[in-house]
Structure 1
Amino acid sequence: MSRGKKIVLGIVGFVAVLTIVAVGIGAKVYMDLSGSVQKTYESVERQLDTKRKEEQGKVIAEKKPFSVLLLGIDTGDLGRTEVGRSDTMMVAAVNPNLKKTLITSIARDTYVDIVGKGTKDKINHAYAFGGAGMSMDTVEKYLDIPIDHYIAINMKGLKELVDAVGGITVSNDQKFTQDSYTFEYGKIHLDGDQALSFSRMRHEDPRGDYGRQERQRKIVEGVAKKLLTFDGVTRYKEVLDAMQENVKTDMSFDDMKKIAADYRGAFTTIQQDQLQGEGFMQDGISYQRVSETELNRVQTELKKTLDVNN
């Protein structure tokens, strides 16, 4: 058995909650949603100064652009119960004024300073060292932007969410076999188990981990589309059941309601980007090194979306 089906998908839980809140189909839905979101809430310890903490607490309340670190954790299935690593990392920058959301993927092997650990390592190790808080602090320093919130989802959550929405359809640009499944070229339908396998293949892909990350983003898009096209969110209970046991976030129910009310236009346009690096070996371990030019490019795009001037 391989290391595990290392996956994706904070953004799915994010879109799921926002979709159901926005539809607002009655008191029963409201109470179910409130209870489920409360089960997903988990605060974090961060290394922020007093001013930054105050700013972070006002962002959503004042309808300002905000960012969410989306973490896919490699636990929750195949009997894995340890803390795990964030084998998928995405930053979602949400701007209601520009009516735009920018989702930027970060390769798990990116070589960075781990804030709070005093060492350089793969960026996905920050979660294993210090949970979501250390991951947020590390990404905030590396990208030079404020990271306001996080959403983490484990492997089991991905599988159950895909099944909860009745499966998804994605466009596949390379025929391959993974975990006994053969994925044909073109548009294909995936259930939860198939989505896990589809998301984890990288050895047959000439793009390596970057190809894997592109497939993960396709799954994100596929689930989001199914959620946003539900007639009255008819399967909302299945979605909530999948979320409440497998998703963690520091966004409260009030935050979710505020986003649904004030930020709906920000999801009209969803753009995707990828922080690109080059592989290198150090002490027998492979890493990704991002050039200063590429890092500056990604930082600039994120700062534009978040209206950050520094």
Structure 2
Amino acid sequence: MRKAGGPMARHRKKSSWKKWVFVTLGVMTVFLVAGGLFVWSMYRDVNETVTKVNDNLEISEERKQVETIEEKRSVSVLLLGVDRRGNEQGRSDSMIVMTLNPDTNEGAMLSIPRDTKTEIIGRGIRDKINHAYAFGGAEMAMDSVEALLDIPIDYVVETDMDAFTDVVDTLGGITVTNNFAFATDGYNFPVGEVNLDGEAALSYARMRYDDPNGDFGRQERQRAVVSAIVEKGRSDFSVDKVTKLLDVAGRRAKTNLEFNELVTLSTDYMKAFRNASTLRLEGSGGIESDGVYYWNPDPASLEGVQTELKRLME
């Protein structure tokens, strides 16, 4: 009986083993197929959104057909935070130039004071640099920043203030380190780490007149918020957040960055981003003969900033 039972038992065990192999393979196949469809769906959605924001950006084809990131060379990006009301063109309330060098893993972020008096390329006048966007959109802003800093501007990312708050809220808020206590728009910002939702982050970044460092302090907070958004987006990934961010980007953002370039930026350029230093353009301002306030860069400071940016762009 033991001899008869032995082979039968082994047969049952073998049959059970095969059964579970087939079940496991079946389940894995289902997951792989579903996962593949999901990944493809996400890729398609992201790609379609990026294509949409590319198409929304009204700049020349030459400006759109840039290959700097694909070639993994030093890159410059102009970040424009546009303040507009209704259907008006608006002005670039925030202008940040970011340069990243993937070879040396260095970078820099420079905020350009919006009242900076400089040549507006394409208009033949000297005016506030934030008027460049009002006169000729992102391309005139890029041209004018290039002339001011004497470096090429490869890419531009343009968003309005509603996009700013939507992105922060979609990420579940951000955390920044605040250097001095202040209150604005009904919010209190103590010294130390501060958690911000979208509206609070906007108020935090835009406060200007109560800062002991004036517009420079405001620029530093804007850069800190940008850095916090990038880090939160990379570290706190979820399907729901990606879907919502795609919706915000599709409605609010404009850029000449393409999908593959965004992927490369988030990988090969991230160390340079994290090592990025903060550059400061010194100068002074006042009301001039036309009755308008302008801020004029100090020539020596401007030359120093230009030299450092050129070094990073080599």
- The aligned counterpart of 2:83 is 74
CA contact (8 A) 1:110 1:277 kept: no
**TM-score normalised according to structure 2 size:** 0.81
What code does the residue aligned with 1:139 have?
Answer: V
1:284 aligns with 2:297: no
Deviation at 1:194, TM superposition (A): 0.8
Cα distance in structure 1, aligned partners of 2:127 and 2:184:
29
1:99 aligns with 2:108: no
Aligned sequence identity (%): 42
Structure having the higher helix fraction is 2
What code does the residue aligned with 1:71 have?
Answer: L
SS at structure 2 position matched to 1:235:
helix
CA contact (8 A) 1:227 1:233 kept: no
- The aligned counterpart of 2:74 is 65
SS at structure 1 position matched to 2:180:
coil
Cα distance in structure 1, aligned partners of 2:187 and 2:122:
41
Deviation at 1:234, TM superposition (A): 5.9
Unaligned runs of at least 5 residues, structure 1: 1-24
Aligned length: 275
CA 1:275 to 1:146, structure 2 compared with 1: closer, same or farther past 3 Å? same
Cα distance in structure 2, aligned partners of 1:259 and 1:188:
28
- The aligned counterpart of 2:151 is 145
Deviation at 1:62, TM superposition (A): 2.3
Deviation at 1:29, TM superposition (A): 2.1
Cα distance in structure 1, aligned partners of 2:162 and 2:235:
23
- The aligned counterpart of 1:38 is 51
- The aligned counterpart of 2:217 is 211
CA 1:58 to 1:188, structure 2 compared with 1: closer, same or farther past 3 Å? closer
Deviation at 1:132, TM superposition (A): 0.5
Bigger shift: residues 251-260 or 145-154: 251-260
1:108-137 deviation digits (Å, cap 9, x = unpaired): 011101000010001110000000010111
Deviation at 1:280, TM superposition (A): 2.0
Deviation at 1:265, TM superposition (A): 4.3
Unaligned runs of at least 5 residues, structure 2: 1-37
Deviation at 1:211, TM superposition (A): 1.2
Query: In the alignment, which of 108, 117, 123 is matched to residue 117 of structure 1?
Result: 123
| Greater relative CO, 1 or 2 (CA 8 Å, sep 6+) | 1
CA 1:258 to 1:109, structure 2 compared with 1: closer, same or farther past 3 Å? same
SS at structure 1 position matched to 2:98:
strand
CA contact (8 A) 2:76 2:98 kept: yes
**TM-score normalised according to structure 1 size:** 0.82
Cα distance in structure 1, aligned partners of 2:199 and 2:270:
31
SS at structure 2 position matched to 1:187:
strand
- The aligned counterpart of 2:228 is 222
1:225-277 deviation digits (Å, cap 9, x = unpaired): 21121256662112222222111001222433444565444334222222222
Cα distance in structure 2, aligned partners of 1:133 and 1:211:
27
CA contact (8 A) 1:44 1:250 kept: no
Q: Report the structure number with the largest CA radius of gyration.
A: 2
- The aligned counterpart of 1:294 is 301
SS at structure 2 position matched to 1:29:
helix
What code does the residue aligned with 1:295 have?
Answer: L
What code does the residue aligned with 2:153 have?
Answer: I
Deviation at 1:214, TM superposition (A): 1.2
Cα distance in structure 1, aligned partners of 2:58 and 2:76:
16
SS at structure 2 position matched to 1:134:
helix
What code does the residue aligned with 1:69 have?
Answer: L
Aligned residue runs from structure 1 range 190-201, under 5 A: 190-201=196-207
CA 1:81 to 1:182, structure 2 compared with 1: closer, same or farther past 3 Å? farther
CA 1:29 to 1:190, structure 2 compared with 1: closer, same or farther past 3 Å? same
